[in-house]
Amino acid sequence: MKERDIAPGTTFLAGAGLNLFAVLDCAALPESTTAPMLASGVPLADYRRLVLLGHGGRRLWAALQKWGVKTTDPVDHYSLTLTRQFIRDYLGDPPVCWLYPQTDYLAPLQQLGALAGWSHSSPLGLGIHPEYGVWFAYRAAFLTTAELPLRVEPERPSPCATCTNKPCITTCPVEAVQIDRFDVDGCARYRLRPQSPCADRCLARLACPFFPEHRYTLAQMQYHYRHSLGTLRAWYGETETEQPGDYSPRDKDNQPV
């Protein structure tokens, strides 16, 4: 299959908001990436390509609102439905093995994102994309027997390299964000506090000055953060956390138009 053969399919995906698309060679993945996958039972040797899909910015959320929220996990449902359609209608329905989301396999997404040229590490513990900043995410990953043309983004510098003030570090109220370390536990416990201003958003992430035009809308941000808060609650066994409302005038300033 040639690049021009999959161009209509990637255009279809991009129009649906799945505007990050990478194809990696299974046989060329580094051992540090394959080890956790193989340990979780991924049948890597049976497939030729690993396809990674993501969204950058706000388009996916806007497309999802038009498509309709049909399940309790609408972003995954939407992403899987559109990706299945892409595989069927644009790739000729080859055999695939789903890696993410909603599988028991372990896909090291941040490592795969770095190999795809999407992601540098940042003090926030999130990847940062050279074009979308901290406003991107992984939406689906699968293996396929189809010999798709390889595709990664060109190597570009991290925005963090030119960010002199690093407001993500100074904004976090509990100093969870450090230049060389992200305190996952400290962040989680602060988010779980009653009336926490971080229950449905990350103030430090919002303080990142790069690519504000791609910053999630408040509704999109609240969806993702409330979802992760539920996971944290289950993990930490917390039950007393309240759902947040609006907390401060900052919210209005941070809410993109």
User: Which one, of 205, 143, 150, 132, lies nearest residue 21 by Cα?
Assistant: 150
Nearer to ligand SF4, 104 or 155 (CB): 155
DSSP state of 51: E
Comparison of 9 and 117: residue with beta carbon closer to ligand SF4:
117
Using CB under 6 A as the binding rule, the residues of this chain from 181 to 200 that contact ligand SF4 are 187, 190-191, 198
Interface with ligand SF4: number of residues (CB under 6 A): 24
Q: Among all chains, which residue has been given the structure tokens 């896909």?
A: 107
Q: Does 229 bind ligand SF4 (CB under 6 A)?
A: no
Q: Should residue 221 be labelled a site residue for ligand SF4 when binding is judged by CB under 6 A?
A: no
Report, in Å, the least distance between residue 107 CB and ligand SF4. Answer: 24
Stretch of 56-64, 66-74, 123-131, 135-143 contacting ligand SF4, by CB under 6 A = 123-131
Q: Per-residue x/- marks for ligand SF4, 135-154, CB under 6 A?
A: --------------------
Distant-in-sequence, close-in-space partners of 150: CB < 8 Å, separation ≥ 6:
23, 24, 25, 49
Nearest distance from C-beta of residue 53 to ligand SF4, angstroms = 23
Q: Answer whether the bond into residue 101 is a cis peptide, omega within 30°.
A: yes
Q: How far apart are alpha carbons 143 and 103 in whole angstroms?
A: 13
**Quick one: which of 54, 52, 246 has its CA closest to 135?**
54
DSSP string of 195-246, one letter each residue:
T-TTSS--HHHHT--S-GGGPPPHHHHHHHHHHHHHHHHHHHT---PPPP--
User: Does 60 sit near ligand SF4 (CB under 6 A)?
Assistant: no
Candidates 96, 128, 192, 221: give the one binding ligand SF4 (CB under 6 A). Answer: 128
Q: Using CB under 6 A, which residues numbered 158 to 177 contact ligand SF4?
A: 159-160, 163, 166-168, 172, 174, 176-177
Q: CA 83, CA 15: separation in Å to the nearest integer?
A: 12
Cβ 98 vs Cβ 107: under 8 Å: no
CB of residue 52 vs ligand SF4: minimum separation in angstroms?
A: 22
Strand 20-25 relative to strand 49-56: parallel, antiparallel, unpaired?
antiparallel
Considering the complex, state which of residue 42 and residue 188 has its C-beta at the smaller distance from ligand SF4. 188
Which is closer to ligand SF4, CB of 157 or CB of 237?
A: 157
Cβ neighbors of 73 (< 8 A, separation 6 or more) are none
Which residues form the interface with ligand SF4 (CB under 6 A)?
122-124, 128, 134, 159-160, 163, 166-168, 172, 174, 176-177, 187, 190-191, 198, 202-204, 208, 210
